[in-house]
Amino acid sequence: MNKKILIVDDNKSVLTALEMLVQTEFDDIYTLSNPNSLISTIQEHNIDVVLLDMNFNTSVNTGNEGIYWLNEIMKYDDTIIVILITAYGDIELAVKAVKEGAFNFILKPWENNKLLSTLHSAIKLRKSNLENNSLKKVSDNLKQEITQTNYQIIGQSSSMLEVLDVVRKVAETDANILITGENGTGKELIAQEIHRLSKRKKEILLSVDVGSISESLFESELFGHKKGAFTDAKYERIGKIEAANNGSLFLDEIANIPLSLQAKLLSVIQKRTITKIGDNKAIPVDIRLICATNKNLENMVTQGSFRADLLYRINTIKIELPPLRERDNDIILLAEFFLDKYSKKYDKPRLKINKKAKRKLLKYNWPGNVRELQHSVEKAVILSDNSTLDDTNFTLNQQPKIKNKSLQDLTLEEMEKIMITNCIDKEKGNMSNVAKKLGITRQTLYNKLKKYGI
């Protein structure tokens, strides 16, 4: 850090004395006998510390000039350290100056050692201010990148317009929201839209797939842990709830939270504090909670696998997303949106979907909802050889046909593909249940769907 100081005093002998005194502490020293060019000097030389006299008019000794220029410096850059100097030791003036943002207040004549010690502390504070400012910029950029979404909610059907109307009404509140609907209906997109329209839109929206977290790591993931709290806790960890502080927390697949930890989540929602594993200190958190599930939580409450009091807390407002099969007007609209997206991605411009293909899309039941439609269009674009997509380009989750092959003649991949498609049919497109039945994670399932073009 190249340390720079600006000394402002109308007494030239004071300027000379101070310049000589501080030369061991600063790399660059600038002096002014008139404060009129103070701000321009700060701008030009990127000053770190300002030693500022409080009076520049011999007939006035109220200190108001010093207070005025202190405020001007703070307006320009409040990380600059200002130390006020005056011959008038009025304690009320000193208190006023500190309240206005001054780092310290010294009297003329000054004690050299005391002034040097004050300057040494000022340099440390300036360095800390600059580091904090830099970290804040990095943090703001990260928040923007994490929260930034390149999505669009496509829909003109009456059912989707009703959903979006509710979203607009509740977004500006801090009410807890529960989004329900089948897999692939766009629950996370709705959560993102709620955050985008909320008062917290400049803060982070942190999404957590509860279903993908193993029960053994669940508490650490959500609440964090102290170093040494358990065998593998080599470092202190900030949990997802604390990381979302001041922003929005989206808990997807909330039904999968273990019953043993539901009470702790309920406590966080009620008290707005968290306690890390291995710690007794309660940390305050301010979050907007948005949850989502494809399961019937009321039935789970009846069965004893979900707490009734937690359900009451998370569904102040409930938004139910319609499945794609109930959005006839949106199927072609969405298909053409995805067609445009993937035509650009795979450099196949001017692709169109013909009428026969559109009729096929409209007749299909879409058990995988919008996500299945998206994958179907992407696959059709990739495999297309012509400028028009017809009905043969859309296989739409058809049962794979293996002719003249017994079970023992099938390859592992063929058997796996059959098993996955059978399970999808049996579970009616509920991908969480499919992954659970197959004993794999949802991400692994999606990778296999893409691999086999399902």
Dump pLDDT digits (tens) for 9-25: 888 888 999 999 988 88
**Residue 299's pLDDT is what?**
93
DSSP 176: -
Provide the pLDDT for residue 397.
65
pLDDT at 440: 86
Q: Which ranges of the chain have pLDDT less than 70? A: 1, 57-63, 87-92, 94, 134-151, 397-410, 428
How far apart are the C-alpha atoms of 357 and 350, rounded to whole Å?
Answer: 16
Q: Please choose, from the candidates 126, 110, 130, 129, the residue with its C-alpha nearest in 3D space to the C-alpha of residue 25.
A: 126
In order of their start, the domains of the chain are: 4-135 (3.40.50.2300), 158-320 (3.40.50.300), 324-452 (1.10.8.60)
Determine the Cα–Cα distance for residues 222 and 213; give it in Å rounded to an integer.
Answer: 10
Question: By three-state DSSP, how is residue 216 classified?
Answer: helix
b (16+ CB within 10 A) / e for 142-167? ebeeebeeeeeebbebebbeebeebb
Task: Write down the pLDDT at residue 142.
Answer: 55
The reported pLDDT for the residue numbered 404 is 47
Burial class (CB in 10 A: 0-12, 13-18, 19+), 192: buried
> What token pair was written down for 399?
């049962």
- Looking at residue 271, its pLDDT comes to 92
Q: Is the pTM of this model over 0.85?
A: no
